[in-house]
Amino acid sequence: MQCFTSSAILAAMSDTKDGDEETQQICNQVKTMVEYNTKKTYEEFRAVQYKVQFVAGKNLFIKVHVGGDDYLHLNVFQVHLSDEKRLLHVLTDMGKEDPFTFF
């Protein structure tokens, strides 16, 4: 039996999903890096939506509610077969309705 996988499928972005416990744990792991990069402290830091892109590991694009009308968009890379997470990008000054895609 042979299995062929298109690189386009591997790099495709998933549909938007509601935040879940696993995504929240990832947010908790990168929160101090986000605070360092944005030079702010967040009392609220709740994953509300996310998308996944499978590459040589996993890119996670996460919409995080940080209080009031304020949201952040995070790009976190999870190393393949590892628990290591790397914060790649943070978009600030985002709103609830702002769409998120590859950044």
DSSP assignment of 32-94 equals HHHHHHHT---S--EEEEEEEEEESEEEEEEEEE-STT-EEEEEEEEETTS--EEEEEEEEEE
Question: Could you report the per-residue pLDDT of 67-80, keeping only the tens digit for each?
Answer: 999 999 999 999 88
What are the structural domains, with CATH classification, of the chain?
A: 13-94 (3.10.450)
Across 34-55, average pLDDT: 96
User: What is the rounded average pLDDT for all residues in the chain?
Assistant: 87
Question: Could you report the per-residue pLDDT of 8-19, keeping only the tens digit for each?
Answer: 445 788 899 999
50, pLDDT greater than 70: yes
Instruction: Give the global pTM.
Output: 0.85
Per-residue pLDDT at 103: 65
